[in-house]
A and B are shown apart, each in its own frame.
Chain A
Amino acid sequence: MNTAVGTLPPTSAASKPPARRLRSRLEKRPELFTLGLIVVLGGVVGAINPDFFQWGTLFDLLRSSTVTGLFALGVFVILAAGGIDVSFTAIAAIAMYTTTKLVVTEWPEAPVVLVFAASGLGGALLGLVNGALVHLLKAPSLIVTIGTQYLIRGLLLAYIGTAWITELPRRMEGFGKLALVEFQSARGLHVMLPAFVLVLAAAALLTWWILNRTLMGKAIFATGGSIAVAERLGYDLRAVHLFIFAYTGGLAGVAGMVHVCSNRLANPFDLVGTEIDVIAAVVLGGARITGGTGTVAGTLLGVLLVVMINNLLIMAGVPSTWQRVIVGGFILLAGALFVIRRPR
């Protein structure tokens, strides 16, 4: 097969100079860039503070990544379909707080699995509303979800409650403390990896499976590639919209419940306000904000990177106020690499 007509550069990577080849490799696998940043960051922090290289650090990272990671998986699915969601934190807050309140008052002995299912289901229903609005109004999902974020948060604080719930039911508290791995470190510190990180692992596997092994997954990427073409090819856009927002809402509900169990506190003012961190993580993980690209692995790496910056720079003596500067710098760097050089 002959290659490009015209004087356009050939598409094969072989004939390009090394710098451009690296760029083209990075363009195909942007998560390598994220991984690179993580390694560099870890190396720098570890060089400054040798305490970095121990199991406890890794466990802390995983623990802190769980909630952001669950959110990020949902955001990634919506981004892959060419949309955006900023209401998921509000959904998580209302789902976790309402569920906790109900469990405390109605059925304190409810099994944890059911509690999580209820919170996830509530989140999914609210997500379904997002999806229906985006589809019916044919409105940009950013506008719709800004609206629903305000609505949901207002409803939560006005009608459901503003008081902290500090006395969690026994089983929920137990789940938050349940350890997957636990030991005393050489310095006598108690090191543990909480079991709820498995929730993130399961969600990541499920998301990967849906995106890569089902027709829905392909339909999601197709919609993100070109909504007009996807419609013409017969993809059911209504199903795609309903699914992605419901799925993200469901993950948000579960994330909210993980947040409650790990903090042993249900605070209705929590979570909302962290959307940008999550979207930043997904974009740093290589998903294009314009949709149609990205991977689950990249998303998880993006989350890890943002969590590292937020939690570990303190170990290197970087004041917490600088964390945002660094996240911002990384995003601009990623933007410069992945966005600007696309020819018009």
Chain B
Amino acid sequence: MSHDTPAAPAGGVFLETQGIHKRFAGVHALRGVSIALRRGEIYHLLGENGCGKSTLIKILSGAQPPDEGRLILEGTPLAALTPIQALAAGVETVYQDLSLLPNLSVADNVALSAQLVRAKGRLARRLDRPALRETARKALAAVDLPTADAYLDTVVGDLALAERQLVAIARAIATRAKLVIMDEPTTSLTRREVDNLVRVVDGLRQDGVAVLFVTHKLDECFAIGGQVLVFRDGQCVAEGPIRDFSKARIAHLMTGKALDEGRYRTAAPAPRVLLEVEGLGREGRFAEVSFRLNEGEILGVTGLMDSGRNELALALAGVAPAERGRIAIGGRSVALRTPADAIAQRIGYVPEDRLGEGLFLDKPIRDNIVTAVLGRLRGRFGAVDGARARALAEDIVARLKVATPGVDVPVQSLSGGNQQRVLIGRWLTIEPRLLVLHGPTVGVDVGSKDTIYRAIQELAAAGLGVLIVSDDLPELLQNCDRILVMRRGRIRAELDAATTTEEPLVRAMLAEEEATA
């Protein structure tokens, strides 16, 4: 954006999709998507979680084939792309996890793909090491990273997140990508790092590269400019230059509802203190964290990815215990050294990554619900009492309104929202006093969000303390009493959810560090 010229006009169509459909076990993820991506243009793919954004990226990058429809790549119709075809054609995808190999050097991560493409994917080839380093140097220079030998040889796992992101972009440059897809690239960057990223991306655009941002940060989209593609329920519901849209209109298109949803939170917390945390710390993760949570209160915790919010949640769950400080529940100090300690104190923890950390996908709903209380369900000879387990599971399923034919079907047959309800339901079995919810609606559709929010409010009304750790700001504003903002491992702000807005939250999350000394 340093140039005054309003940039080269958009070129010809690089990649087009026609009538793409994709279904997963009962979910119709994409329903006839037809879009065209032109060279030298920036696109913002917007939509709620579960609207089909990620599926579309996977099809564009060759990770998955479409069930119906076709792709037209530089004029050539194709039924599907393979990863190496997509790469060879110049489609480079920077997933949220960046697709970097943590054990390889910066030079390898940046420039190996280029060599792989040149070898057409065949591995019985000599490595052209001078070319590898030369490619890596040029690409790193283009994103303002160091090009010294020491840096080229640094193992990527040792780099900070923002740097890894630039390394991933450098890889796109090295493979001479014509379309760069970036999946939520700015989620955990500071403002300065975002500006740097935007500058790099604009450079790509001026070189005639098409850039597809997948994001839900509307403000950034307006700042960057370009085209929007709004998705809802597997369809592209609107497209066009972003300046022709207002924020409210985009939000309306994304949700199918009017923007301001209003607060779910209507009740007030009880006057009794449930949880008291004092000077909690864990080396290198968070420090001096102190707060109180009353019975029936809903407290939000937010911050960037590496602000320490996740680690705080894990500490309260006993997964990664705190090393310093005091935790008291109901006025009594407790030690939470293992998840079993937390369960014994009747703290329920619903992890963010419900697939990786929480649910046994191929097991029935019943088994998933009763797993935290197996000890209690033990019959006379140590075996689990099947009838009691079933009764408990059915009760929970009814309370949380899980849409399912019965408790014997495997959890993987449920939608994301219902899976999440099963996971929350598991913790209701321990009759919790405190529920720690980590990103309770990540990957959940709008309708399920609504039921999950209602369930959370009912739990709080019943006297539970609820701690929601999330980066979904509207979610916190709609559900919490107070919101704590963490940055660099410490609590930096406490805001009243009823009266504040997203602006001060974001400011507290992103504020630059120089002033803290």
Give A contacts to B, CB under 8 Å.
1-9, 11, 28, 212-219, 221-222, 224-226, 229-236, 239-240, 243, 292-293, 343-344
Q: Which of B118-126, B253-261, B399-407, B449-457 is the contact stretch?
A: B118-126
Note all chain A residues with C-beta closer than 8 A to B308: 6-7
Is B163 within 8 A of A215, CB to CB? Answer: no
Is A239 within 8 A of B83, CB to CB? Answer: no
Is A5 within 8 A of B489, CB to CB? Answer: no
Q: A11-B158, A222-B112 are in contact. Are A234 and B84 (CB under 8 A)?
A: yes
Q: Which of B39-47, B100-108, B271-279, B380-388 is the contact stretch?
A: B100-108
Q: Is B488 interfacial (CB 8 A cutoff)?
A: yes
* Nearest CB in chain A: distance from B331 CB, A: 31
A8: nearest residue on chain B (CB-CB)?
Answer: B284
Is A229 within 8 A of B284, CB to CB? Answer: no
Note all chain B residues with C-beta closer than 8 A to A240: 123
Which single member of B108, B117, B124, B304 contacts A216 (CB below 8 Å)? B124
Is B101 within 8 A of A214, CB to CB? Answer: no
Is B489 within 8 A of A7, CB to CB? Answer: yes
Number of interface residues of B (CB under 8 A): 56
Cβ proximity bits B89-113 to A, threshold 8 Å, 1 near / 0 not: 0000101010111111000100011
Is A216 within 8 A of B123, CB to CB? Answer: yes
Which single member of B82, B83, B121, B160 contacts A4 (CB below 8 Å)? B160
Q: Which of B395-454 contact A (CB under 8 A)?
A: none
Is B101 within 8 A of A230, CB to CB? Answer: yes
Which single member of B113, B127, B306 contacts A233 (CB below 8 Å)? B113
New contact pairs (4) apart from A6-B308, A221-B103, CB-CB < 8 Å: A7-B287, A226-B102, A234-B84, A239-B122
Give B contacts to A, CB under 8 Å.
61, 63, 82-84, 86-87, 93, 95, 97, 99-104, 108, 112-113, 115-117, 119, 121-127, 129, 144-146, 155, 158-163, 190, 192-193, 284-287, 304, 306-308, 320, 488-490
Is A5 within 8 A of B161, CB to CB? Answer: yes
Note all chain B residues with C-beta closer than 8 A to A213: 126-127, 129
Can you list 28 A-B contacts with CB-CB less than 8 angstroms, sorted by A residue number?
A: A1-B144, A1-B163, A3-B160, A4-B306, A5-B160, A6-B306, A7-B285, A8-B285, A9-B284, A11-B158, A212-B127, A214-B126, A215-B119, A215-B123, A218-B104, A218-B112, A219-B116, A226-B102, A229-B97, A229-B100, A232-B63, A233-B83, A234-B83, A234-B116, A234-B117, A236-B122, A236-B123, A240-B123
C-alpha spacing A216/B112, complex, angstroms: 11
B84: nearest residue on chain A (CB-CB)?
Answer: A234
Q: A216-B123, A218-B108, A221-B101 are in contact. Are A5 and B116 (CB under 8 A)?
A: no
A80: nearest residue on chain B (CB-CB)?
Answer: B103
B146: nearest residue on chain A (CB-CB)?
Answer: A1
Is A231 within 8 A of B83, CB to CB? Answer: yes
C-alpha spacing A6/B144, complex, angstroms: 22
Note all chain A residues with C-beta closer than 8 A to B86: 234
Note all chain B residues with C-beta closer than 8 A to A215: 112, 115-116, 119, 122-127
Is A234 within 8 A of B87, CB to CB? Answer: yes
C-alpha spacing A234/B86, complex, angstroms: 9
Note all chain B residues with C-beta closer than 8 A to A224: 103
Is B126 within 8 A of A236, CB to CB? Answer: no
Note all chain B residues with C-beta closer than 8 A to A9: 284
Q: Give the number of A-B contacts (CB < 8 Å).
A: 126
* Nearest CB in chain B: distance from A229 CB, A: 5
C-alpha spacing A175/B295, complex, angstroms: 83
State the 9 A-B residue pairs at the shortest beta-carbon distance, nearest first: A234-B84, A292-B103, A225-B101, A225-B103, A7-B489, A216-B123, A4-B160, A234-B83, A6-B306
Note all chain B residues with C-beta closer than 8 A to A235: 116, 121, 123
Is B129 within 8 A of A5, CB to CB? Answer: no
C-alpha spacing A239/B122, complex, angstroms: 9
Note all chain A residues with C-beta closer than 8 A to B155: 28
Note all chain B residues with C-beta closer than 8 A to A2: 160, 162, 192
B125: nearest residue on chain A (CB-CB)?
Answer: A215
C-alpha spacing A219/B115, complex, angstroms: 11
Q: A1-B145, A229-B101, A234-B113 are in contact. Are A6 and B488 (CB under 8 A)?
A: yes
Note all chain A residues with C-beta closer than 8 A to B122: 215, 236, 239
Q: A5-B160, A218-B108 are in contact. Are A243 and B99 (CB under 8 A)?
A: no
Which single member of A3, A214, A226, A344 contacts B123 (CB below 8 Å)? A214
Note all chain A residues with C-beta closer than 8 A to B93: 232
Note all chain A residues with C-beta closer than 8 A to B488: 5-7
* Nearest CB in chain A: distance from B65 CB, A: 15
Note all chain B residues with C-beta closer than 8 A to A221: 101, 103-104
Is B116 within 8 A of A233, CB to CB? Answer: yes
Note all chain B residues with C-beta closer than 8 A to A3: 160
Note all chain B residues with C-beta closer than 8 A to A230: 101
Name which of A225, A231, A240 has the most chain B CB atoms within 10 A of its CB.
A225
* Nearest CB in chain B: distance from A88 CB, A: 22
* Nearest CB in chain B: distance from A138 CB, A: 15
* Nearest CB in chain B: distance from A292 CB, A: 4
Is B103 within 8 A of A232, CB to CB? Answer: no
Note all chain A residues with C-beta closer than 8 A to B84: 234, 236
C-alpha spacing A239/B121, complex, angstroms: 10
Is A5 within 8 A of B104, CB to CB? Answer: no
Note all chain B residues with C-beta closer than 8 A to A222: 101, 104, 112
B489: nearest residue on chain A (CB-CB)?
Answer: A7
Q: A225-B103, A233-B83 are in contact. Are A5 and B306 (CB under 8 A)?
A: yes
* Nearest CB in chain B: distance from A239 CB, A: 5
Note all chain A residues with C-beta closer than 8 A to B320: 344
C-alpha spacing A229/B102, complex, angstroms: 10
Note all chain A residues with C-beta closer than 8 A to B97: 229
Note all chain A residues with C-beta closer than 8 A to B108: 218
C-alpha spacing A218/B113, complex, angstroms: 10
* Nearest CB in chain A: distance from B427 CB, A: 22
C-alpha spacing A8/B121, complex, angstroms: 38
Note all chain A residues with C-beta closer than 8 A to B146: 1
